[in-house]
Structure 1
Amino acid sequence: MKAHDDRDLVVRLDRAVGKIQKQLGVALSIHGVGLSEYLVLRQLHDATDNRLRRIDLAERVGLTASGVTRLLNPMEKIGLVAKASSARDARVSLVSLTESGRRVFEESDGTFAEVAAQVLSRIDPADRRGLENVLRALD
């Protein structure tokens, strides 16, 4: 593939991701969260003890440490997450899911699943398997 074709393909991939993110963001807004907040809640929901180190959370949602801190501050203010220091290492900052955060995640997860199914319904099952392989290779 020529370099120009590679650039075009990456631009199209970026455009597709942007469209999916927009659809998800609009749908999730009825729950009072955006896509980034949902992804944080999902990671915490799936984590052992519903808690992660802030740096691990940042890596899992694709943000910098400072980016995840900026995202967490308003989430903490409205009671979706709680921040704490590690008992074993004061340099480590932990983030945990609150009961309110768990409720918002569970409500918004159904909406996320509906939009995801809607988006992917346009893709043939064989192509979906191929897409999964491509995404695994890019991960």
Structure 2
Amino acid sequence: MTRSTTTDFCLRMARAHAAMIRRFDSSLGSVHGISFGDFQLLDHLSRAAGGRLRRVDLAERLGLTASGVTRALLPLEKIGLVVRETDPRDARVGYAAITAVGKELVVNATATTNLISGDLLQGVAATELDAMSALLGQLAGINASNA
């Protein structure tokens, strides 16, 4: 049986994703001591109002479960990049907040990711990037509130 065009696209996207993650992980790990997943988490926190997000909102933005976010936060807490905060009005609500050290790391790591992404996508027209970004955002359910 022949694969459909949509299946072929999804398989190619998965392979491209894996190659991209390997490249980001390698550079971010050797230069900054973090993974691309760590970078994504820190980036979301750094762009959030007050530098903090409810853990459930962070999970949604990262496409993880609540327990997956908890596991991702632990090593970042141990090295002082994030802290846990509770809501004084509701102890059931947990926040993750980026520290000053975490903010500084994100600034430096963003320069690295900008170089890598520029290299990966060199020669791709801005209009093509915009169209692909819109498509990927649609597939991921990204909107203004969870970007």
Whether these two folds match at TM > 0.5 is yes
Q: Which residue of 2 aligns with 1:53?
A: 54
Q: Which residue of 1 aligns with 2:25?
A: 25
Q: Which runs of 5+ in 1 are unaligned?
A: none
Q: Which has the higher helix share?
A: 1
TM superposition shift of 1:133: 3.0
Q: Which residue of 1 aligns with 2:124?
A: 123
2:90 partner SS: coil
Q: CA separation of 1:103/1:134 partners in 2, compared to 1, >3 Å: closer, same or farther?
A: same
Cα deviations across residues 44-96 of structure 1 (Å, max 9, x unaligned)? Answer: 10011101111111111111110010010111011000002111110001111
The one-letter amino acid of 1:44's match is L
Q: Which residue of 1 aligns with 2:39?
A: 38
Which piece of structure 1 moves more, 4-13 or 86-95? 4-13
TM-score under structure 1 length normalisation: 0.92
Q: Which runs of 5+ in 2 are unaligned?
A: 142-147
The one-letter amino acid of 1:27's match is S
User: Separation in 2 of the partners of 1:63 and 1:137?
Assistant: 17
Q: Which residue of 1 aligns with 2:7?
A: 7
User: Separation in 2 of the partners of 1:21 and 1:127?
Assistant: 21
Identity of aligned residues (%): 34
User: Separation in 1 of the partners of 2:86 and 2:25?
Assistant: 31
